[in-house]
Structure formats: structure tokens, C-alpha cells
Homo-oligomer: A and B are copies of this chain.
Amino acid sequence: MRILHHLPLSPQSRLARLMLGEKRLPCELAVEKIWEPSEEFRRLNPAGEVPVLVEDSGMVVPGARVICEYLEDVYPEPPLLGRNVAERVEVRRLLDWFDGLFQQEVTVNLLGEKVMKRHFGLGHPTGSVLRTGYKNLRYHLDYIGYLAETRTWLAGPSLSAADFAAAAHLSALDFLGDVAWATAPAVRDWYSRVKSRPCFRTLLNDKVSGLQPPPHYSDLDF
């Protein structure tokens, strides 16, 4: 069976899970504590990061972006990286946006401080860093809201990896109760559509020891 080495709250892992689910590719999940990486995991991915996909054939595909491209290459249906050149550019621009800007400006400051810092033994969250994260999140919610208001899906007329990348980050933050949905109704409407996809179900059932998501986390009608 195909295996995805992952962490439940890692947005990059969540993106890979959503891509696999939407393409109906069954997959076993293996939690990988990247803060105490095994020799074996280092061999799978010298970068020491999740997710890493291992196919039945033994093919190893490390990294969310690489997994997205690989899945589209080998299992093209349904297409999730755009249906023509212009759409592919826009989907990949948004993958860059969430993997780069959103990750650095929001996710590292909130999820990184509250969860990963503890795992890596780096102490408690720093208030000023959290405040920066919340401030940046407001700006990013505005941008996502603008996209959601002007397009059917974030990258254009079709559901794509861009929606999954955004929803992967927001769902991980939502698990921490960090998303002020009431302030961003257009984002909430779009997110509830993504959340209703069958591929999203496993994310909503995630359990993380020591953390309790807010009740609305798994509610499709939040």
C-alpha cells in the first residue's frame, strides 16, 4: 500500500493528503516525528521534512510541491494543477503564495510557535511573534476573500491544488482556533465548499495528542 509520511497538523502534509484524496488514490498514513528523525526517514528525504510519499513501486516523492506535480504527472485525472497554460500558471503562483508568503508570514508565526516550537524543545510561544502572525493572517484573509469573491475557486473556474493549499493552511490554524471566520464571510463560504469535499473528511477526524480543536473545526456547517 502507498504510504504518506506526514504530520497531522502540517499544512504541507494536508495538501498532499487532499491531492491524494481528490484523485482517489488510497494511502496509508505514517506519522513522522521530524524533531527526532530516524536514519531511515533521512534516507527517504535528506531535507528531513514531511510529507514524503512512498509508492508501492518503491518510488519516493519528498515534499508537497513535488508530490503535487508527481501526482498530476502520473495520475492526471481529475486535473488539479489547471486545465490550460494560463490556469497552470495561476495555480502554481498560488501554490508559491501559500507555500512561501503565507507559510512565512502566518503559519510559522502561529502553528510554528504554538506547536512545532514545543516539539523541537525551543520553549513557549513568544507573544510578539503570535501578534505578528495574527496581524498577517488578517491581511491574507483579505486576499483569499478577494480571490473567493471574484472567482468560482481560488485559481479560477475549477477546483485546484491552490484551493487545497489554502485550505490546508487554514484548516491547521482552525484546529488551533486561530481563524476568525466571522470577519471573513467570503473566505468562510469558499472554505465550507472545500471542507465538504469527500477528500477533506480524514483531516476533520485528525486527533492530535494534547490538543483539542474547537467544536466548529469538524462542523461542515460552521
Contact = CB atoms under 8 A, between A and B. Distances in A.
A96 B46 CA distance: 12
Contacts of A86: 59
Interface residues of A, number: 24
Interface in A60-113: 60-63, 65-66, 69-70, 73-74, 85-86, 88-89, 92-93, 96-97, 100-101
A61 B96 CA distance: 12
B93 A66 contact: yes
Given A73-B85, A89-B70, A92-B66, A101 B59 contact: no
A88 B66 CA distance: 9
Each complex incorporates copies of this chain amounting to 2
Contacts of A74: 85
Contacts of A120: none
Interface in A133-155: 143
A47 interface: yes
B92 A69 contact: yes
Given A46-B143, A73-B85, A74-B85, A96 B59 contact: no
Interface of A: 46-47, 59-63, 65-66, 69-70, 73-74, 85-86, 88-89, 92-93, 96-97, 100-101, 143
A70 B85 contact: yes
Nearest to A82: B73
A96 B66 contact: yes
16 contacts: A46-B97, A46-B143, A47-B96, A47-B100, A47-B101, A63-B93, A65-B92, A65-B96, A66-B89, A66-B92, A69-B69, A69-B92, A70-B85, A73-B85, A73-B88, A74-B85
Contacts of A85: 59, 70, 73-74
Nearest to A45: B93
